[in-house]
Structures are given as structure tokens and as C-alpha cells.
Amino acid sequence: MSFSSFGLSSSLLKGIQALGYSSPYPVQQQAIPAILKGRDVLGIAQTGSGKTAAFALPILEKLLKQPVATNRSVKVLVLVPTRELAMQVEETFYNLSIHLPHKIKTMAVYGGVSINPQMMKLSGTAVLVATPGRLLDLVDHNAVKLSEVEVLVLDEADKMLNLGFKEEMDRVFSLLPARRQNLLFSATLGGDIQTIVATQLHNPVTIEVEAEASVPELIDQVAYQVSAEKKGPLLRYLIRRENMEQVLVFASSIRTADNIVGKLKKNGIEAAALHGDKSQGARTEVLKQFKAGKIRVLVATDLASRGIDIKFLPYVINYELPRSPKDYVHRIGRTGRAEASGKAISLITPEDAHHFKIIQKKMGKQVTIVQTDDLDLHGA
């Protein structure tokens, strides 16, 4: 699925491209068409799911077809719990609207800073991203009017309630026109959320997306710094030294996967490849043998690995790093399951160093890096 299939304007598609989004995340796949149709949405999704663009894109698409706002009546109100989220959401709107033919003004307002500059800047704002307390202050100062709001977004609604904003939220609801579109996003669906859903949303489309994969605690991660030429010998050395009985090795291309298998076999280690060039029958057979312990090393590409369902794998080796941190987590998550510990090893060339730093940052975990200059790989 691609972003162009939603029928979004080309100027918005350009903004998406500029942000480097290549395909829509699940929450976006489901929410964008529903919001474009004018439906209310209940999104059970967390930060990191891509929920901001899921509501920002269809909202911008709608605003594109309307005259530019010039007064203090905002068309879209996004209520958020914190200043940080307010700034983040505003930034997403801003980035996505860079290529639009006319400016759609988005502004973030939050407490903890002086109210005057915010009041002065508000005029002509179409999308207001606000924390509830500051929003009400601005309403009381006649700096903003909510009577023409067409779309209300409640972002991280559970957090807003946890922070004690219930009364403020109720007051905001009472200032909004009855006829409007409502989009509520929350990671959880506690009691008070249910009340809001029941009283404010009309026949919502419910969207539930899984939380991003996180790294299980039981995985021991280590990386070996190695030159590209020494990767093959190092792989064989590790398999032998650690007595790996069963290991899943990841390669980034079909060709590399086949090469690795060829070299392992030549050196007396039973191995097989699993990738998109093999027929379904051949793949099933290879998996069967691997599961039965008849093949020691399975070398797979990411795509082929999705279907691998093995209860417990003691070792996963990234012969090459995946492009995305998400795939890294997905790969290593194949070990350390079901209360058993596992080990994930990555072979890092000097060219990979920067990319591997990004992966560690995204995953929020530091991986021990082992130098291999002193290892004797002869005969491996």
C-alpha cells in the first residue's frame, strides 16, 4: 500500500516524501480513509505508531479545500496533555504542509510560558494544538473562539486524564459546536475514556494497532567490529567457538545469503538458505529440516524470515544490518523468547558504525562492541 492510494493531493504527497515516509504505517492505513470520509475515529495506539500523521494528513487534505482562515475561530483543535507533545504535533503539521499551495497556519499553545505572545500570534490559525489549561485561559482572554471547530482531536487522551485534566476537557467540550468530527487517540481504554467515547464520539470507527516491537530483556546483544573480508571467517569462528547448534543468520540480499551458505558448506557446516527465490515448497522443507535440527545454520533475508515460527532460537546473527531499526528489533526478537535467554550478534564493518549507532538509539539500548583485530581467524 502507498500513500498515493488515499487520493491525497500531490502537494501533501510531496510533504510525505520530504519526511522520508515510504509507506503508511498500520494506524495510517486504517485511519486516513475513515477520517477523509468524515467518520469519528477511536484509535487505540501509542506514540511511535505514526498516529500523528494518521490524523494530520486527512485534516490537512480537508483544510486545503477551504478558504484560508483569517480570524480567531480555529477549524481544528488538537488537545494534548503536554507541552512536548504540543510542539511535536505542531511540527508534524508544519512539516507535512511545507509544499501546500497555500499556507495552513498551525500553532501550538501550552502553559508555563507567557500568554501574551501566544495571544498575539493566534489570528489566522486553522489548526490549534493546545494543552487544556492554556487553551481555556486563551478562551477567557477572547484570544480564540471554539464555536467553529470542525474537527476535534484528543491525542493521548488517557494521559490527559491521568494528569487531571478531566474538568478542563469537559469545559472545552461544552464550548464546541455539537456537529463536528471527533478523533480520539489513546494507548489505553480506561473508565473515563469510555465515558468520553460514549458522550463525545458518534459511531466511531475503532482502530487498534499493536505497540511497536520492543526488545525483550532476555536477549544478550553483542556486536563484533570486523572488516568486510573477514566477515565469513568470523561467522564460522563464532559458530564453532560458541558451539552454536542452531543459528539464524540474516543477510540483506538473496545473493549474499546464497554466498554465505556456499562458504559454510565448503567449510563443513550444514547450512541452507531461505529467501524469496526459493519456491514455497522448498522454503517449507528447509524450515522443517531446520526445526528438526537437521540444518545447523539457516541463512535468511528479512522478507523470508517473517514466516519463521520457531519457539526458541538460541542465536541470531546479523551478518549484515537491516536498513531499519524496526527490522533489527524484529530480527533479534526471534531469540530470547518464552522465558529462555538468547544471544543476538551483529557483525559491524566500519561503514556500518554510524547506522548501528542509530539503531541503538532508536532501540534505547547500548550494545557491547567487541574488537576482532586480535582474534585468530585462520582455519575458521
Question: Which of 51, 75, 236, 343 lies at the binding interface for ligand AMP (CB under 6 A)?
Answer: 51
CB of 107 to ligand AMP, least distance (A): 19
**Which of the stretches 50-58, 147-155, 219-227, 286-294 binds ligand AMP when contact is defined by CB under 6 A?**
50-58
CB of 22 to ligand AMP, least distance (A): 6
Q: What track of x and - describes contact with ligand AMP for positions 6 through 25 (by CB under 6 A)?
A: ---------------x--xx
CB of 25 to ligand AMP, least distance (A): 5
**Which lies closer to ligand AMP via its Cβ, residue 48 or residue 177?**
48
Question: Which of 12, 53, 104, 297 lies at the binding interface for ligand AMP (CB under 6 A)?
Answer: 53
User: To which residue does cell 463536528 refer?
Assistant: 180
The C-alpha angle 117, 119, 120, rounded to 5 degrees, equals 65
Please report whether residue 132 would count as binding ligand AMP according to CB under 6 A. Answer: no
Across 206-235, b (16+ Cβ under 10 Å) vs e yields ebebeeeeebbeebebebbbbeeebbbbbb
Please report whether residue 48 would count as binding ligand AMP according to CB under 6 A. Answer: yes
User: To which residue does cell 479545500 refer?
Assistant: 65
Please report whether residue 47 would count as binding ligand AMP according to CB under 6 A. Answer: yes
CB of 51 to ligand AMP, least distance (A): 5
Please state, in angstroms and rounded to a whole number, the distance separating the CA atoms of residues 340 and 6. Answer: 43
**Which of the stretches 44-52, 63-71, 294-302, 338-346 binds ligand AMP when contact is defined by CB under 6 A?**
44-52
Going from the C-alpha of 132 to that of each of 27, 31, 82, 109, 175, the distances in angstroms are 25, 24, 9, 9, 12
Q: What is the three-class DSSP state of 274?
A: strand
Q: What track of x and - describes contact with ligand AMP for positions 270 through 309 (by CB under 6 A)?
A: ----------------------------------------
Cβ burial, residue 339 (10 Å; 0-12/13-18/19+): exposed
How many residues in the shown chain lie near ligand AMP by CB under 6 A? 11
Q: Where are the alpha helices (DSSP H) in 181-292?
A: 191-200, 231-241, 254-266, 280-291
CB of 47 to ligand AMP, least distance (A): 5
**Which of the stretches 45-53, 221-229, 304-312, 331-339 binds ligand AMP when contact is defined by CB under 6 A?**
45-53
**Which lies closer to ligand AMP via its Cβ, residue 23 or residue 284?**
23
**Nearest CA to 238 among 314, 329, 323, 148?**
314
For 193, phi then psi, to 5°, come to -65, -45
Going from the C-alpha of 235 to that of each of 61, 247, 314, the distances in angstroms are 51, 11, 16
Question: Which of 50, 232, 322, 336 lies at the binding interface for ligand AMP (CB under 6 A)?
Answer: 50
**Which lies closer to ligand AMP via its Cβ, residue 6 or residue 319?**
6
Q: In what order do the strands lie in the sheet with 368-371?
A: 271-274, 297-300, 247-250, 315-318, 342-348, 219-225, 368-371
Nine cell digits for residue 8: 491525497
Please report whether residue 117 would count as binding ligand AMP according to CB under 6 A. Answer: no
User: To which residue does cell 511497536 refer?
Assistant: 212
Q: What track of x and - describes contact with ligand AMP for positions 22 through 41 (by CB under 6 A)?
A: --xx--x-------------
CB of 88 to ligand AMP, least distance (A): 7
The C-alpha angle 32, 35, 37, rounded to 5 degrees, equals 110
Please state, in angstroms and rounded to a whole number, the distance separating the CA atoms of residues 263 and 251. Answer: 14
Nine cell digits for residue 255: 545473493
CB of 298 to ligand AMP, least distance (A): 29
Please report whether residue 52 would count as binding ligand AMP according to CB under 6 A. Answer: yes
Binding site for ligand AMP (CB under 6 A): 21, 24-25, 28, 47-53
